[in-house]
Structure 1
Amino acid sequence: MTLHIGPFDEMTSIIARYAKKDGNSETAIENLHVFKGSCPTRLQHVAYKPSFSLVLQGSKRLMVGSDVHVYGAGQYVLTSLDLPVASHVTQATADVPYLCFTLFIDSEKLSDLLPRTKVSRATPPPEDSRGLVVKTAPPELIDASARLLRLLDNPDDIAAMAPLIEQEISYRLLTGPDGSRLLDMTLAESQSHKVARAVAWLRTNFAEPLRIEALADHVSMSVSSLHHHFKAVTAMTPMQYQKQLRLHEARRLLLTERVDVATAGYRVGYQSPSQFSREYGRLYGLPPLKDIDAMRGQMAAE
C-alpha cells in the first residue's frame, strides 16, 4: 500500500513536537496520547486498554499471550479489551525516533454511534476473535488521524471538533474489516463481551483465589465455553491472565512502594514466596530484587 506522504509527514512532525520526552505523553485532547522512543528499549510489561494506535515512524515488537506482532510505520494496533502485553521498541534513533499516537476507545460512545451506521450484529465475524490485531491503515483512517492531530496546533478548535473526528475514526474502524471486534464490545450477549466482563472481574479481583466455575457463572458461560472463548480472545487462559495481572502489580509495589519481596507476593495473592519469586523470574527474566535494581538503574540513567 502507498501511504499518503503529505498527512503522514505532517503527523510525524506534530507528534515529534508534542512528545517532549521519551515515553507516553498526554495531550490537550482527552483520549489522545502520543509516544516517542529515541532508541530501542528493553521488554516492558504494560496493560493495553481498548484503543487505536497508529505508528508513524520506527518499529515495535509486541507479545500478548502466545501471539507475537512486529509492526512499523503505517500500521495500527486495534485493541478491543484490557490486555496485559509485553512490548519493546525495536527500531529507533535520536534522529529518527519511534513515534506513534494512541486514541482510547469509549464503548459508550461506540454504542451511541451504532444506530447511525449500517453496522449490525449480522456483520460477518473476523477469521479469529483476538482482542488485539495489527493492520495496515487505509487512507481514510490516515486522513482522519491527521485532522485529529492537527487540532493540537489549534487548541480553540478541540472542544468542538475533536469529538467529531474521534467519532469518524470510530466509524472507520467499525466499518472496516475488523469492525466486528469493536461491535462485540457493545453487544451484551456476544461471547467477546462476556470475555471482557471476565477480564474486568479478574482485574478487580486478581489477588483472590481463582475459581473458574464461579467466574463462568458470573459471566453466564459454561466452564468449557469460558476457557475456549477467553483463550480465543486474549491468547491466554484465565489463570495465565490472572498471573500476569498479579505479577505486574507486584512489580509496581516493589518499584514504587518499595515493599519487600514476601510482602509484594502476599499482597497480590501468593501464599508461597518461593513460588512468587519463581514465577516472577519466568515472566521478567530476573528474580524480583535483581529486576527492580536493573529498572532503577535504567531510570537513573535516563
Structure 2
Amino acid sequence: MASIITRFTGEDEECATAIDTLFFSRRSSTGKSVYTAQWPCLALVVQGAKSLAIGEELHTYGVGDYLVVSLDLPVVSRVTEASSEAPNLGLGLRIEPERLKDLFGRINMAPAPHDMRAVAVNKAHPDLLDAVVRLLRLLDRPRDIPAMAPLIEQEILYRVATGPFGPALLQIAMLETPTNRVAQAVAWLRRNFTRPLRIEELAQHVGMSPSSLHHHFKAVTAMTPMQYQKQLRLHEARRLMLSDRLDVGSAGYSVGYQSPSQFSREYSRLYGRPPLRDVTASR
C-alpha cells in the first residue's frame, strides 16, 4: 500500500484519486493540527502515525490500525509520526450512507445495546487489509475501476460492519434508534449551524425530549449539541479567513456570531490564539 500511495501523491499533499470515494495523504513532518469537519469514513495509516480528537477525547492510530468515523463531526487531526525519509502515508475511504443501508439490509446483525461513540480505532483484520490492497491496485488498471471498485468497496464495508464497530454503524442505519436520531440531529445542525440553536426545536425535529437528545448526542459525539454547533461555526470561520481572506468581523458574522467579542473569546479558547494572530501565523 505504501508504494502505491507514494506513486500517486506528491510532496506533502492530500489528494483525490480516480476512485471517487478514495483519498490519499502524504506528510513529511509532524506538528500542525488540522481543524476540519470530517465526513463518515474509514481511515488507515500505512506509514507513521496520526491522532484525531473529538471534543475532549483523543484517538491515536498507526500502522495496523483502522479508524472509523460514522457521523459528520468537527475534529482536530494531527500527524504524530513522520519524517522526510519516512513520510506519513495514509488513505481515507468515504462511507456512503446509502451503500451502508443497502448492506445492512442483506446481513443479519443485532445493533449495539447502548450508544457507541461515532469514532473508534481497531486493529485491522487481514481480510480488511486484503480488500483495501485490491482496491488500491485498481488505480493501475483504470478501465477496471467503474465495474470493480463498487464491488470491492462493498466488501470493505462488509469487513468493517462485521468487525467491532459494526453494531454502531447499524445503530445509525436503523430508523427509530436513539443513535439514528442523533444522526438526524447532526445533519440538521450541519445545515443550520449559523442559526441560533434552540434545543427544544432540535429535539422536536428529531422526535426526542430535550434531555434525551442531550444525553444520547453526547454519548455518540463526545459533545453537547451546543458544543458541536460552536465547533462547526469556528472551523468554518477559520476556513473563511484562511481560504477566502475574510476579515475577522465578517467571518464571525457569516457563521452566526452577533458579538465580535464573543467570537474572539470562543475562537481563542478553541485555537489557543485570537483570530487575527492565529490566521496571520497560519498563512
TM-score normalised by length of structure 1 = 0.91
Match of 2:74 in 1: 84
Match of 1:16 in 2: 6
Equivalent-residue separation in structure 2 for 1:134 and 1:115 (angstroms)? 25
The alignment yields a C-alpha RMSD, in angstroms, of 1.2
Question: Match for 1:144: what amino acid?
Answer: A
Consecutive unaligned residues in structure 2, runs of 5 or more: none
1:58 and 1:72 in contact (8 A); partners too: yes
Instruction: Give 1:254-265 correspondences, 5 Å limit.
Output: 254-265=241-252
Shift of 1:257: 2.2
Counterpart of 2:197 (choices 206, 210, 215) is 210
1:107 and 1:185 in contact (8 A); partners too: no
Consecutive unaligned residues in structure 1, runs of 5 or more: 1-10, 297-302
Shift of 1:259: 2.0
Question: Match for 1:216: what amino acid?
Answer: A
Question: Match for 1:27: what amino acid?
Answer: T
Is 1:288 aligned to residue 275 of structure 2? Answer: yes
Match of 1:116 in 2: 106
Shift of 1:124: 4.1
Instruction: Give 1:126-165 correspondences, 5 Å limit.
Output: 129-165=116-152
Q: Deviations over 1:89-112 (max 9, x none)?
A: 011011111111111111111122
Total equivalences in the alignment: 283
- SS of corresponding position for 2:204: helix
Equivalent-residue separation in structure 1 for 2:240 and 2:278 (angstroms)? 13
Moved over 3 A (4+): none
Counterpart of 1:236 (choices 223, 228, 232) is 223
Equivalent-residue separation in structure 1 for 2:278 and 2:229 (angstroms)? 21
Shift of 1:295: 1.2
Question: Match for 1:63: what amino acid?
Answer: A
Question: Match for 2:36: what amino acid?
Answer: V
When structure 1 is superposed on structure 2, of 215-224 and 12-21 the one drifting more is 12-21
Sequence identity percentage: 58
1:41 and 1:90 in contact (8 A); partners too: yes
Question: Match for 1:109: what amino acid?
Answer: R
Q: Deviations over 1:90-149 (max 9, x none)?
A: 110111111111111111111222233222xx3444x75100001110111011111111
Match of 1:166 in 2: 153
Equivalent-residue separation in structure 1 for 2:48 and 2:115 (angstroms)? 27
Equivalent-residue separation in structure 2 for 1:203 and 1:38 (angstroms)? 32
2:13 and 2:27 in contact (8 A); partners too: yes
Counterpart of 1:175 (choices 130, 153, 162) is 162
Question: Match for 2:206: what amino acid?
Answer: V
Question: Match for 1:34: what amino acid?
Answer: F
2:112 and 2:171 in contact (8 A); partners too: no
Equivalent-residue separation in structure 2 for 1:86 and 1:61 (angstroms)? 8
Over 3 Å counting, the alpha-carbon distance change for 1:58 and 1:245 in structure 2 is same
Equivalent-residue separation in structure 1 for 2:89 and 2:208 (angstroms)? 41
Equivalent-residue separation in structure 2 for 1:68 and 1:193 (angstroms)? 24
